[in-house]
Chains A and B, each alone.
Chain A
Amino acid sequence: MYDGGKIFVGLIVFAALFASPFYLNMGKVSAKPELKIDTPEIQKLEDKKCVEPKELMRAEHMQILNSWRDAVVRNGDRDQIIISGHKYEKSLQNGCMKCHSNKKDFCDKCHNYMAVKPYCWDCHIAPKEKKS
């Protein structure tokens, strides 16, 4: 084999570089994001329930937001959602964020952890962060 040594060294260097993210991060388990759902607005609610169960919201909130967008913007359907007597608007800015007034500790934490960058906030205005 010609230049066998060089190829072998090259392969080792390549393998080391390729695997570097794995062994550099080994043992350093980044903590799962803990979302805060104790905003003053939620505390005030008698029945602390979102529009759908927690598990469904966690997995499919983007689909819910999309269907709300289509309903409101395209079909002009602004029927409110009632959960134990409390009315919720089909709206990110005037619905979700009225309770979840902590975008940083609610939206951003998980989105950063998952490295997704939704562009909702290019247009929609996030509520002012309160000191907690």
Chain B
Amino acid sequence: MSMNRREFLKIAGISTIAGIGGTALAGGLRKGVIEAAQTAPNTDALTGKKWGIAIDMSKLKSEENIKRVTEACHRIHNVPDFSNTKDEVKWIWTETFEHSFPGQEHKFMAEDMKHKPFLLLCNHCDNPACVRVCPTKATFKRKDGIVMQDMHRCIGCRFCMAACPFGARSFNYKNPRLAKNLQEYMNPEFPTRTIGVVEKCTFCYERLAKGLKPACVEESNGALVFGDLEDPASEIRKILASKHTIRRKPELGTEPNIYYIIGGNDYAVVPEIK
């Protein structure tokens, strides 16, 4: 069949219109996105622009204090405990000063500071390296500054673990439900994770939505202060403005949002000069 240019353009034009119009019509006839008739806005939630925590190390006196904080977090979030470091899953944990703030230790520093367990958790950085490397956007930055992990999307590639300079992420090498502590107790209000996904602290986003502060803050008896770093009137900003604080590895430029008040007057032991 021979066809001249004019006829070809006519047919092409008509079929384009039919195509676009057809899909639009079909789309319009289909049921739209499912939406419930009535919703109640969640007014309980704590809202902020950049959540952060200031940790006053002088108030975390004993190891029991610290253990209570870490256990509260791990208990409500169904964090498995396999009692070996290879399979360890940690949301909040402790490390020595030397390992928490590498390069800042020196040989004359107070003995108790040197051996004091520092409370570590995800720093919810302003420029999170883990978010940049995630190929599936399973980890992402929320509007309120929380670095969130969507377990539905995680493919377990562990890029984020390699990228995070703070060791804040753990991989589930084993099915977490096989852990002894989870077989004894699971918080029925919170999911567990599955084998093959990475997990970390989520700043208790599920508690913030109910108007509660993170579990670690609640259990710390005032040693941990939680607040909005963008709000100049917040308690945390007043603390940061009045006391000297340090952050973990600030030289890397990820802008961590967990601050440590080192202080020392409370517990530094000054040796007597003889």
Contact = CB atoms under 8 A, between A and B. Distances in A.
Interface of A: 51-52, 56, 60, 63-64, 67, 69, 73-74, 76-83, 87, 93-94, 119, 122-125, 127
A79 B34 contact: no
Interface of B: 33-34, 36-42, 45, 78, 140, 142-144, 148, 150-152, 186, 188-194, 205, 209
Contacts of A81: 36, 38-40
Contacts, number: 63
A57 B229 CA distance: 43
Nearest to B189: A94
A124 to B, nearest CB: 5
Contacts of B194: 119, 122-123
A124 B188 CA distance: 9
Contacts of A74: 140, 148, 150
A123 B192 contact: yes
Contact of A87 (B40, B190, B192): B40
8 contacts: A56-B34, A78-B45, A79-B42, A80-B39, A82-B38, A83-B38, A93-B189, A123-B191
A119 B205 CA distance: 23
Nearest to A66: B152
B32 to A, nearest CB: 11
> Would you list the 9 A-B pairs with minimal beta carbon distance, nearest first?
A122-B194, A123-B191, A79-B39, A78-B42, A81-B36, A82-B38, A80-B40, A124-B191, A78-B209
A51 B41 CA distance: 16
Contact of B142 (A69, A76, A122): A76
A78 B140 CA distance: 18
A76 B143 contact: yes
B200 to A, nearest CB: 14
